[in-house]
Amino acid sequence: MAAQVNIVLLGLGVVGGGVAGALRERADTYSQRVGASLALRRVLVRHLDKERAVKLDPSLLTDDAEEAVSGDVDIVVELLGGEHPAYGLIRDALSRGRYVVTANKEVMAKHGPELLSLAAEKGVDILYEASVGGGIPIISPLKRDLSANEISSVRAIINGTTNYILTRMSRDGLDFATALAQAQQLGYAEADPTNDIDGHDAAYKLAILASLAFHTHIGPDDIRREGISGLAARDFRYARELGYAIKLLAVARREGSSLQVRVHPTLVPEEQLLAKVDGVLNAVQIEGDLSGRVLFQGAGAGSLPTTSAVMADVLDAARAIVQGGRPFPWRYTDEVAIKPLAELVTRYYIRLEVVDRPGVLAGIARAFGDHEVSIASVIQKETDEAAQTAELVIMTHPAREEAVQATAVQVRDLPEVVSIGNLLRVDD
């Protein structure tokens, strides 16, 4: 039995700092829980001289990746972020028969299957609880507690930055640019927010969740993705009048033998719990045939919540090392086809700016009829008297995406239509 488990930390930023602090401040508790002491042997950083919240012995720090991982190392904890050099360092660690703990959604979404099979080949494991939902336990429940189910859907709010922006737009009537600027001032959005607002971050996380839920590999390129920058404050107002919140929803749903996987702004009925998940919170709702509906909600980011998830994996890996025995890294066993978005059937919200004169509706109704898209309701909203235009909000009955898109093209070309303000999917 190992008396000491040697740990290398790659990265000492927001999460790495939290993990280094926990390893130091909770050393006694952790060694009791594991049955061996956890020794932090080396920490890889980019800037050796940077002022840091957590004070470590400077001799632990290195900016040389090869030096960081050399010697007697049991667990490599990767907290650098981004695809490179993280991916290469993780591969290298697994190849050398070391356990890996990572919070890296991009690496796991893009290279998960390869890294998991490498871990299995080497008799170790790669653990990634912190890669989705920060402090919310979700990877482990999918791998273990829900594994006896056939899962029919995963619906999730898994990007805190966009959820904060949407909450401010909804509650305070802010436009997108102002809400984004405030999120940046508060440190909730990065200087370059593209990864969050265009839905890439949520798509990486959905790829990870859907792969586990459906026992198959879903890559980020399988996911249809639309961001939130096209939303206007009035969309939230109108949606609310119709009984909906607007969320950047990540959805993976089984339909027969295929899967829909998509991330886009979505109208969610206000009475659903997901519609009430506001601010930087995250939530993941899973529907299993045995478990029924379960909802996980909590802090999707932040140093301490993410440390909680990383350290749980470190403790698991350390226990496996101390107790010996072969771990059982996750395996993808099923082949599931991805359903094209064009085949999605759902209800739609369409906001139009039209010329304010009698008879306008007839041409629009004809365009919907031509594509067999049935209108559930039409509401005339604000009128701009100076411009002589009016705004219409149309809700459809369930319709096929490709028919709705074809309708939108025809409607846009009508002389009485000034513009299509927005076209959003509803997820009842």
Ligand X SMILES: NC(=O)c1ccc[n+]([C@@H]2O[C@H](COP(=O)([O-])OP(=O)(O)OC[C@H]3O[C@@H](n4cnc5c(N)ncnc54)[C@H](OP(=O)(O)O)[C@@H]3O)[C@@H](O)[C@H]2O)c1
Just list the catalytic residues. 205
CB-based contacts of 403: which residues, under 8 Å, 6+ apart? 371, 372, 373
CB-based contacts of 66: which residues, under 8 Å, 6+ apart? none
Taking the CA atoms of residue 229, residue 231, residue 233 and residue 238 in that order, the dihedral angle to the nearest 10 degrees is -170
Binding of residue 115 to ligand X (CB under 6 A): no
Q: What is the DSSP letter of 413?
A: T
CA distance 81 to 45: 12
Structure tokens at 227: 């961001």
Report the run of H or E that residue 19 belongs to, with start and end: helix 14-25
For residue 140, count other CB atoms closer than 10 A to its CB. 17
Measured from the CB of residue 15, what is the shortest distance to ligand X in angstroms? 4
CB-based contacts of 264: which residues, under 8 Å, 6+ apart? 199, 224, 225, 226, 248, 249, 424, 425
Q: Which of 2, 4, 13, 26 binds ligand X (CB under 6 A)?
A: 13
Q: How many residues bind ligand X (CB under 6 A)?
A: 23
Q: Pick between residue 19 and residue 404 the one whose CB is nearest to ligand X.
A: 19
Structure tokens at 39: 């020794």
72 three-class SS: coil
Binding of residue 159 to ligand X (CB under 6 A): no
DSSP 327-384: ----------EEPPGGG-EE-EEEEEEEE-STTHHHHHHHHHHHTTPPEEEEEEEEEE
Region near ligand X per CB under 6 A, out of 75-83, 168-176, 266-274, 411-419: 75-83
Binding of residue 80 to ligand X (CB under 6 A): yes
Binding of residue 50 to ligand X (CB under 6 A): yes
Binding of residue 81 to ligand X (CB under 6 A): yes
Binding of residue 134 to ligand X (CB under 6 A): yes
Region near ligand X per CB under 6 A, out of 73-81, 137-145, 280-288, 392-400: 73-81
CA distance 161 to 229: 13
Angle (CA) 224-346-362 rounded to 5° is 115
Q: What is the DSSP letter of 150?
A: P
Q: Pick between residue 56 and residue 174 the one whose CB is nearest to ligand X.
A: 56
Q: Which of 8, 45, 93, 166 binds ligand X (CB under 6 A)?
A: 45
Binding of residue 104 to ligand X (CB under 6 A): yes
CB 313 within 8 A of CB 128: yes
Binding of residue 44 to ligand X (CB under 6 A): yes
CB 111 within 8 A of CB 87: yes
Measured from the CB of residue 206, what is the shortest distance to ligand X in angstroms? 15
Q: Pick between residue 79 and residue 267 the one whose CB is nearest to ligand X.
A: 79
Q: Pick between residue 120 and residue 208 the one whose CB is nearest to ligand X.
A: 208
Region near ligand X per CB under 6 A, out of 1-9, 77-85, 151-159, 318-326: 77-85
Q: Pick between residue 15 and residue 354 the one whose CB is nearest to ligand X.
A: 15
Report the run of H or E that residue 50 belongs to, with start and end: none
Q: Which of 9, 56, 79, 283 binds ligand X (CB under 6 A)?
A: 79
Structure tokens at 428: 């009842």
User: Which residues between 288 and 317 bind ligand X (CB under 6 A)?
Assistant: 301-302, 306
Region near ligand X per CB under 6 A, out of 8-16, 275-283, 284-292, 416-424: 8-16
Measured from the CB of residue 104, what is the shortest distance to ligand X in angstroms? 4
Measured from the CB of residue 191, what is the shortest distance to ligand X in angstroms? 12
Binding of residue 282 to ligand X (CB under 6 A): no
Q: Pick between residue 304 and residue 420 the one whose CB is nearest to ligand X.
A: 304
Q: Which of 103, 118, 165, 223 binds ligand X (CB under 6 A)?
A: 103
Binding of residue 220 to ligand X (CB under 6 A): no
CB-based contacts of 190: which residues, under 8 Å, 6+ apart? 161, 184, 196
> Residue with the closest Cβ to ligand X?
13
Binding of residue 130 to ligand X (CB under 6 A): yes
**Residues 166-185, mask of contacts with ligand X (x by CB under 6 A):** --------------------
Give the interface with ligand X as residue ranges (CB under 6 A). Answer: 11-16, 44-47, 50, 79-81, 85, 103-105, 130, 134, 301-302, 306
